[in-house]
Amino acid sequence: MSTTTSSPSPRAPSPTPPTSAQPTTAQPAPATQPAVATVAASAPAPVRPAPVTVRRTRGPITIAFVVLACALAAGVSVGPADLSLATVGRALLEHVPFVHVHGVTRVQSDIVWQVRMPRVLLGALVGAMLAGGGAAYQGVFRNPLADPYLLGVAAGAGLGATVMIVSGPGLHQLVPVAAFLGAAVAVLLTYLLGVSGTGVGGRRSRTTVAIVLAGVAVAAFLTAAQTYIQQRHTQDLQEVYTWLLGRLTTATWSDVAVVAPYAAVSALVLLLHRRHLDVLRVGEDEATTLGVHPARVRLIVVAGATIGTAAAVAFTGLIGFVGIIVPHIVRRTAGSSYRVVLPVSLVGGAAFLVLADIAARTVPAPTEIPIGIVTAFVGAPFFLFVLRSRRSQQGV
């Protein structure tokens, strides 16, 4: 009996291994539950960056607008005839309907409204178009050294303006029209030559490089034609060079009224396609899989940037380096996403050129120097800095 009672007792612990095995098998269950909870907790994470992105976008844009407001105020008040901000404000209020202001002379009112305001506003529009066009070209061609004149805009505008200047004094009022048409025709010719042979749907490695090389060839040909015309009409060289170096001294309200619609259309097109430029940064094959048509985006963005650039240079001449300086400063301070780069470049370019114009008319006072010289003094060292930068080797 004792053996029978002792035999069940050793067998009694035999159920205990299963019971001891249950805690070992049950422990992974609590371990998996936190993992599932972690995945569930991390699932909403992609939704949260949206407000952060908006804040990161609004911050640089707000700062850019503040800088632009300060630049506009300085541009209207600083000059050979120094005017206080209070005087400028009263002079501007005189042109508001049903507002009567005292304490402003007729001379001060004319200086503010007829001389400085058109010049400052035209400079802001031109700076915005050049900087926005530079950022758009760099995104389309994925080249950090691209500028608005890459596809022959400068050469075409210069040839058109030169033809009108040497044609006689009676046709000088058509110089902006000829410059605009020359720039537009040059870019159209460049694009047609670049895509022919590769197809509109060609790969980026073929189509983009072909367009850039076509732009170099077209620009060289048009520059040679312009040089030939200048040598045949040496008596007009001074006026031609004055236009080529850029100037805002002859800005009028009619110039602002003509440039403003082109600038608005160009800015709208570029801003509507800023997300597409972000997609193109990862490559055209990947962009196609995401539903973006690279060739269509490239054509629309190039056309939009060209319209604004052509209208800008038609009235102010060739002002260089704005399209390189401003977008690179924006990338290094506000990020590389084109949702930030494009709007901040538009606003920052406007402020930059207004400040450059202040330097052009105050540093060598009582005389003035062409604004293109000021931007070249700043832009040439900056271009070398970008060229040697590691980011220029990595692409935009």
The residue ranges of every structural domain in the chain are 120-391
Neighbours of 362 (CB within 10 A): 13
pLDDT (tens digit, 9 = 90+) per residue, 214-271?
Answer: 999 999 999 999 999 999 988 888 888 888 888 888 899 999 999 999 999 999 999 9
Neighbours of 273 (CB within 10 A): 24
Question: What's the whole-model pTM score?
Answer: 0.80
Fold classified for 120-391: ABC transporter involved in vitamin B12 uptake, BtuC (1.10.3470)
Residue linked to tokens 């006689």: 168
Q: 56-65 b/e with 16+ CB inside 10 Å = b? A: bbeebbeebb
pLDDT by residue for the chain (396 residues), tens digit each? 444 444 444 444 444 444 444 444 444 444 444 443 333 343 444 333 334 355 577 889 999 999 999 999 999 998 888 788 888 988 888 888 888 888 788 888 899 999 999 999 999 999 999 999 999 999 998 888 888 898 999 999 999 999 999 988 777 788 999 999 999 999 999 988 988 755 444 454 467 788 888 999 999 999 999 999 999 988 888 888 888 888 888 899 999 999 999 999 999 999 999 998 888 887 777 777 777 888 888 889 999 999 999 999 999 999 999 999 999 999 999 888 999 999 999 999 999 999 999 999 888 877 889 999 999 999 988 888 877 775 545 555
Contact 80, 366 (CB under 8 A): yes
Residues contacting 243, CB < 8 A, separation 6+: 161, 165, 175, 317
168: tokens are 């006689």
- Single-letter amino acid code for the residue at 63: I
Q: What are the counts of helices (DSSP H) followed by strands (DSSP E) for the chain?
A: 20, 0
Contact 207, 295 (CB under 8 A): yes
